[in-house]
Each structure stands twice: as structure tokens, then as C-alpha cells.
Structure 1
Amino acid sequence: MTQYFLTMPHDSATEPTMASMQELDPAELAAVMAAVDEFNTALKDSGAWLFAGGLNPPSTAKTVDVTSGETRVLDEPFVEAPSYVGGFWVIEAADDAAAVEWAARASAAVRSRIEVRALQEAPPEA
């Protein structure tokens, strides 16, 4: 089975966080959290779940660069963009179609777009 990276974009201008989500309508937030919990449970029950997580916004990022031979730590994201990965799931699915089905369910749960990308597989041993 192939592993897939399902990502949820966030708007870089607003950088939503768990704290800022508390400003949402409590009933709406509760509905989203329940839908995500139901989605995560379905993934686990099916055996597709590998792991998932939420990421802090890019303003908290550090970029580490040792390409010059010295370690440089920059208090900034690697790349600036209008949106960023705010949360993700890594799942196993039989094929792209199955991964897209899971992404559709994730999109409905979080009320956001979901990007689906297969993880690269190691080349065959010679």
C-alpha cells in the first residue's frame, strides 16, 4: 500500500491557531471538532491511519541551514506563501482513488480544501 500525505491549507495572512479558533462560534467549533474526531476514528478503524498533526504557523518557524559548513538558524519560514500547511494526516491507501476518497471525507470534516500527495517510495534494491 502507498502512503499519502493529506494536508490542510491555512491562510498565511490570518495564521489560524487553536487559540484563535476559540473565537469561532462555539457550536460551529464543536461541530468541526466532532467531525474531525469521527474522521480520525474512521481512519483508525479502517487501518489507513498512520499519524496526524497540526502545525504551528510559519511565524513560529526556524529554518536551519548548514550548507555553508556553519549552522545558521533563521527565525523565519523556509518559504513565504499565501497559504501554508496547517494540519496533516499520513495515511495508507490502496491507490490514488482511495486516498482521494479519504481526502474528500477530511475536507467535509474540516470544511477546508485538502491536498493529496503520495510519499515517494524507495527505489528497488539493485
Structure 2
Amino acid sequence: MTQYLLSMPHDSAEEPTMATMDPAELEAALAAAGAFMAELEASGALVFAGGLHPPSTAVTVDHRGDDLALADGPFTHAPEYLGGFWVVEAPDQDAAVAWAAKASHALDARIEVRAFQEVPD
């Protein structure tokens, strides 16, 4: 089966974290995410999932040459960033999109679906 990345973008201007969310909103979001995760796990489709801290907490590492360079912050600045994701196994893109639709509805967010590349035969 093909693995798909279901990713949830966040607005870069906001950089929300669980620590900064209203407690009632956080509780509702965690309940919705938990229900979605339980369904993914029960189906056997879940490979891995996670939520990421905002890009401002990133360190960019560049050791392409002889010198090691570290830079605080993201590699690039964009209006949106990857806030969370799921890696799922699905028989085809339609099935992956169906999972994304459930995540979008549960979390009231847009979800992007992308297949992982596979080495050609």
C-alpha cells in the first residue's frame, strides 16, 4: 500500500501552540483529534502522526561544505507552515483523501494530501 502524508497548515502570523490556546478550545481540539486518531488506529491505516512547534523554534543546519552553520528559525519564511501531520497507508489517493476529509471536518482545518515517492521498479 502507498503511504500518504496528510498535513495541516497553520497561519505563520499566529504560530499557535497548545500552551497558548484557550483551555476550553484546547480540550475540544484534543478530543476531536483523539477521536480521529482512534479511528485511524482501529482501521490499521495509521503509520505515524505528530504536531510540530512553530517555525520560530526551528534551527536550520547547513553542513554542505567544510563548515557547519546553524541558524535560528526556519529555512524559509512563508505565509503558512506545517503545524501537524499524519502518515497513513491507503490503497489509493481516493482513500487517503477520505481520511483527510475526516481530519478536516474533525479539526476544522484544511488538510493537504501527498503520496510518498516510491523507487521505480
1:99 equivalent in alignment to 2:96: yes
Q: Give 2:84's aligned residue.
A: 87
SS at match of 2:110: coil
Q: CA deviation at 1:110?
A: 1.1
- Paired residues, number: 121
SS at match of 2:7: strand
Give the letter for the 1:45 counterpart: A
Q: Give 1:10's aligned residue.
A: 10
- What stretches of structure 1 move > 3 A for 4+ residues in a row? none
CA deviation vs aligned residue, 1:37-80 (integer Å, no higher than 9, x gap): 11101100101000100001000011111122211111120111
SS at match of 2:9: strand
Q: CA deviation at 1:109?
A: 1.2
Question: What CA distance in whole angstroms lies between the structure 2 residues aligned with 1:94 and 1:7?
Answer: 18
Identity %: 60
Q: CA deviation at 1:31?
A: 2.7
| CA RMSD of superposed structures (Å) | 1.1
TM-score by length of 1: 0.91
Question: What CA distance in whole angstroms lies between the structure 2 residues aligned with 1:48 and 1:121?
Answer: 18
Q: Is the 8 A contact 2:18 2:26 kept in 1?
A: no
Q: Give 2:33's aligned residue.
A: 36
Give the letter for the 2:34 counterpart: D
| Structure 1, unaligned runs of 5 or more | none
**1:1-126 map, 5 Å:** 1-21=1-21, 23=22, 26=24, 28-124=25-121
Question: What CA distance in whole angstroms lies between the structure 2 residues aligned with 1:61 and 1:122?
Answer: 30
